[in-house]
Amino acid sequence: MQSEGILRAAASIRAWPSNGLAKQISRRPKDGVKIAPSILAADFARLGIQVGEAGRAGADRIHVDVMDGHFVPNISMGAPIVASLRPITQLPLETHLMISDPDFFIEEFIGAGSDSFIVHWEGNNNLHRTVQSIRRRGKRVGVAINPATPAGVLEEILDDLDLVLVMTVNPGFGHQQFIHTTLPKITRVRQMIEHRNPACELEVDGGIDAATAGQAIDAGATVLVTGSAVFGSAEGVAAAMNLLRSSLRPVEQ
Ligand code: DX5
Ligand code: ZN
């Protein structure tokens, strides 16, 4: 089973040559790839402007990375940022909680305007309770797994999820290198989703740019989180979003 997944993912990688000429496009989601720019890489002095630019350039949701300096070795932002963004964008605000005690903060983020939550499998002794408490409050919920965490841990929770997030870097920082060994795992999660919960989204997060986006999508992802490739681009947010989308476009033969 495992080697089959690796072989299929390897075939997907081969189908995406580095010269950008995709000879064979597989696994492309029927309703299109969704893009979730991560504001971790934004210029916070111009946050509202940059989120507006991302929206006009076709972002599907805004990804908010919350870090507590404990679950990950970095501190980022909290609910006040969500509250500031809520009146200035109609895009869904997706809240990625990289914090030790997510249950303590769900209510505050909902009050601030979060539409959905991603909580980590790692370090949560009561993941089912966390997931159900988010669902009970009428919000979408996803579970994230780190690069070293096997896909199999999702088996007993997958039915309850709107989204799985496969981390393609170790969480905690933007602008890291995409970890290619996560590709076969993306394919394994895709197979589990098809089997158990086909409506569930499969998101990837970390090191996603015009070179890696196609690989993640061909492995089975449907949603791309991208921080520095969009907000850190010297060409601007709109040009960066266009570049990312055109890297996914099948080449006409
Ligand atoms: C990493 C965060 C990511 C990060 C992605 O811990 O979860 O969302 O912002 O940033 P890039 O796209 O720069 O890797
Ligand atoms: Zn994230």
Secondary structure string (H, E, C) spanning 124-135: CCCHHHHHHHHH
- Residue 26 has a pLDDT of 53
pTM of the model: 0.89
Neighbours of ion ligand 2 (CB under 5 A): 65, 96, 205
pLDDT classification of 8: cutoffs 50, 70, 90 = very low
Two tokens, residue 9:
């993912």
pLDDT(192) > 80 = yes
Rounded to 5 degrees, what are φ and ψ at 248? -95, -10
pLDDT(23) > 80 = no
Determine if ligand 1 sits within 6 Å of the CB of residue 206.
yes
Determine if ligand 1 sits within 6 Å of the CB of residue 204.
no
> pLDDT tens digits, residue range 60-89?
999 999 999 999 999 999 999 999 999 999
Atom 4 in ligand 1: residue holding the nearest Cα: 174
- Residue 31 has a pLDDT of 73
- Residue 249 has a pLDDT of 80
> pLDDT tens digits, residue range 27-55?
677 679 999 999 999 999 999 999 999 99
What value does the mean pLDDT of the chain take?
A: 91
- Residue 250 has a pLDDT of 73
Distance between CA atoms of residues 72 and 171, nearest Å: 7
- Residue 7 has a pLDDT of 42
In terms of C-beta distances under 8 Å and separation of at least 24 residues, what long-range contacts does 15-23 make, across chains too? 15/218, 16/214, 16/215, 16/218, 18/211, 20/247, 20/251, 21/251, 22/214, 22/250, 22/251, 23/253
| Total residue count of the chain as it appears in this document | 253
Determine if ligand 1 sits within 6 Å of the CB of residue 96.
yes
- Is the Cα torsion angle 232, 237, 239, 244 positive or negative in sign? positive
> pLDDT tens digits, residue range 122-140?
999 999 999 999 999 999 9
Question: Bridge partners of 120?
Answer: 144
Question: Bridge partners of 195?
Answer: none
Closest ligand 1 atom to Cα of 74: 6
